[in-house]
Structure 1
Amino acid sequence: MAGHDRNASEGRPPSLLARRPRLPESVEVHSSPDPIRRDWDELAERTGAAPFLQAGWIEAWHGAFGWGPLTVLAVRREGRVAGVLPVQARRGALTSPTDWQTPLFGPVVEDRDAAEQLARGLLARTGRRADLWFLPPDRPGVVECAAAAGLAGFGRIVRTITRAPYVPVEGPFEQYMGSLDRKFRKEIGRLRRRLEERGEARVVYEDGTERLDELLADGFRLEGSGWKERAGTAIRSDPAVEDFYRAIARWAVERGWLRLAFLRLDGRAIAFDFCLEHAGVFYVLKGGFETEERRLAPGTLLTRDGIERAFELGLSSYELLGQADDYKRSWTSHTRERLRFQAFPGTPAGFAEYAAWRYGRPLVKRIAASGSSSSPSP
């Protein structure tokens, strides 16, 4: 986005002359996805929208985690839907239906004109704040929202919230492996040999058309093995999270996108990845391994096989998603930036919200960080 420093947040306060834009005539407002689901799905197929922007993902997420009514803004041209933006409302704020289970968010649009119409429609319905997470900087959405906010005199804050690692699938797999750290490559080879000495090792990719519940139970057991379960962050630790991933699995099976990856040793699953494969892109949403086999690093071996498979199939990328953790950086230096966009009207509530988000919350975080860094070690 023009003027956006990707290493820091960008902020501009509301204007005293701010005027909430009118809802464009081309923008429809739906109180649920039901009336527009078919149009949404057809638009997503035409535009090649990622799974996380589609009605099935949004409905599953909102059913598990939503805390306000789900509203769908839609742009219609000559009887055909050209843009869709879902938001949820609570106490005057319009927010994206997202949390840290969400890899990506944004409008599904045919072109930037539709994104501009949706941005104006969003601001027209904003009370104290509009708040959209996980927007990509290189797709329609954040640029149009920022421009609409500027024209209306709304305050805005745009900042990077994560950088998600990915492996671009380019050239031969051997060339890719040769680009990795030599010590890391040797360690992978040693681990594979140790695994094969233990028994028959093979990786299987299940599409969920058979034994789905059984496969998910086995996979979720591995995903929660060890520290995740103890910390309460495993899928099985929260019924809402488990319900969400089961709903996503059923939805993805219907579309042929589900990939449940297992590394098996003599038939026993010792590593698992919950993945989607769509439009030449492989997404790894969740994963885990048998902690009793940690010395074999089965999660690392499963990732290695998954990347090799992406090269063999001629996919365009292998998306590790989430944060740029150290173990992911072993595989790639490439990341995809995800932004958070907030807009604040020129009202007393809008000014207060802007000040709180722009100055108050960062200050609290700095104080907390300072306090933790100066505390004695236990």
Structure 2
Amino acid sequence: MDWILSWSSAFGEGAAPRIGCAWRDGQLTAALPLGVKREPLWRGGPQMRKLSMLCSDRAGFHDVLAVPGQETDAAALLEEMLAARDCDIADLTPMRAAAAFARISGTEGGSRFRTRQRQEIRAVVCRHDDGLEACLARRSRKFRSSLRAGRRALQQREHEMLTADSPGAAADRILEAALALSARTWKARLGTDIGTGKRTRLFFQELWRRMSASGTMAVHLLTIDGRPAASSLCVEAGGTSYGLVLDFDETYGKISPGRIMAWRGIEAAIERGLKTSNTLRSTPFLDRLGDEFETFHRLRVCRRYGWGDLLLTTQDLLRPVGKRARKLKQLRTRKRSAFVG
């Protein structure tokens, strides 16, 4: 899987693969592509052996492979992997709230295991299987007005919309411009951009190298007066376009380049014949694109009364303090976001 191989190249140092497979009557029914790595549960915390997905959580979603109707096999598989005692905790964060998630989150293993879960991401899903005009017509009058206003403002400036969806030197330059743009946005002040960290840059570069070859990844870049102003990175699977990253330069706030780029992702998905777009996030603006919503949860499973259980209990007690500190930091750094207001 391109996603896992890309993660391994960037973040896999020190991770021991733990690939679990469940079979019934000679047929594969469930698979958990996991790995064990020693790392702290929180920044600066004690080291522990963590069993987690073999892919970067920077993407915003994880999923379990299971044949429909056989999701219990995925839960049994996770129990068996935890029973091996070569890890302290299973961390499947963030995980799509689908059928397999429901089975795994209900895992109790008699009284051997304890599960903790909470919603972490609310994602906007935009349906456009009936075409661009019908999709736009379902949006509010305020949405359509703001989109037209942004486009009129953009027409007053020299601009160019670039798209990379196949390998090549020109496409690589578009990706590098998107990474550089991310490093100078408000996300860099939060530490969540994709252009500053060496390993994160490597992950997206490797992901692009692999997925562009199959035509399942696209990078869109908006330049204004010759300078990158907004970008989006999308991957495709199962007839859906997933918005991995959306960045914009706040100095162009009056033009609202982030809004323009978000809608450009919808247009590009329609042009490629995809039926839905999933933004993998929720903001006041992106919510206006939603025909429906889905959630992704933080899910952790550990043996009762073990080392992992003790650390998770401690973290739960400290969470209100950390939540308040993060909220204050977000208010300071995101107040100029084009998605707000």
Q: What is the TM-score normalised by the length of structure 1?
A: 0.71
The Cα offsets for residues 217-236 of structure 1, whole Å up to 9 and x where unpaired, read as 22222333343345554322
Displacement, 1:174?
3.1
What is the identity, as a one-letter code, of the residue corresponding to 1:316?
Answer: K
Contact 1:155 1:354 in 2 (8 A): no
Aligned twin of 2:123: 164
Displacement, 1:339?
1.4
Report sequence identity in percent.
Answer: 23
Please identify, of 179-188 and 263-272, the stretch whose mean Cα deviation from structure 2 is larger. 263-272
Match of 2:142 among 178, 183, 195: 183
Aligned twin of 2:301: 343
Displacement, 1:314?
4.2
Aligned twin of 2:93: 133
Matched residues in 1 for 2:305 and 2:263: separation?
53
Say yes or no: does 1:83 pair with 2:30: yes
Aligned twin of 1:362: 319
The Cα offsets for residues 262-314 of structure 1, whole Å up to 9 and x where unpaired, read as 33568765432111123311112123235553322222212223223434544
| Map 1:253-272 → 2, pairs under 5 A | 253-264=212-223, 269-272=228-231
Displacement, 1:101?
0.7
Given the superposition, is the C-alpha separation of residues 172 and 254 from structure 1 closer, same or farther in structure 2, using an over 3 Å criterion? closer
The Cα offsets for residues 87-143 of structure 1, whole Å up to 9 and x where unpaired, read as 232344423345541322132122325324422323322453222212222232x22
What is the identity, as a one-letter code, of the residue corresponding to 2:259?
Answer: T
Say how many residue pairs are matched: 314
Given the superposition, is the C-alpha separation of residues 361 and 98 from structure 1 closer, same or farther in structure 2, using an over 3 Å criterion? farther
Matched residues in 2 for 1:270 and 1:146: separation?
41
Structure 1: tracts of 5 or more residues without a match: 1-54, 373-378
Say yes or no: does 1:101 pair with 2:48: no
What is the identity, as a one-letter code, of the residue corresponding to 2:7?
Answer: W
Matched residues in 1 for 2:276 and 2:81: separation?
32
What is the identity, as a one-letter code, of the residue corresponding to 1:61?
Answer: W
Aligned twin of 2:4: 58
Contact 1:169 1:314 in 2 (8 A): no
Displacement, 1:241?
0.8
SS of residue in 2 equivalent to 1:84: strand
Contact 1:163 1:335 in 2 (8 A): yes
SS of residue in 1 equivalent to 2:259: helix
The Cα offsets for residues 9-54 of structure 1, whole Å up to 9 and x where unpaired, read as xxxxxxxxxxxxxxxxxxxxxxxxxxxxxxxxxxxxxxxxxxxxxx
Contact 1:137 1:143 in 2 (8 A): yes
What is the identity, as a one-letter code, of the residue corresponding to 1:289?
Answer: F
Matched residues in 1 for 2:218 and 2:253: separation?
23
Aligned twin of 1:3: none
Displacement, 1:191?
2.1
Match of 1:210 among 160, 168, 174: 168
| Map 1:301-340 → 2, pairs under 5 A | 301-322=260-281, 324-332=282-290, 334-340=292-298
Given the superposition, is the C-alpha separation of residues 281 and 190 from structure 1 closer, same or farther in structure 2, using an over 3 Å criterion? same
SS of residue in 2 equivalent to 1:326: coil
Say yes or no: does 1:68 pair with 2:15: yes
| Map 1:34-45 → 2, pairs under 5 A | none
What is the identity, as a one-letter code, of the residue corresponding to 1:101?
Answer: R
For the aligned residue pairs, the C-alpha RMSD in angstroms reads: 3.2
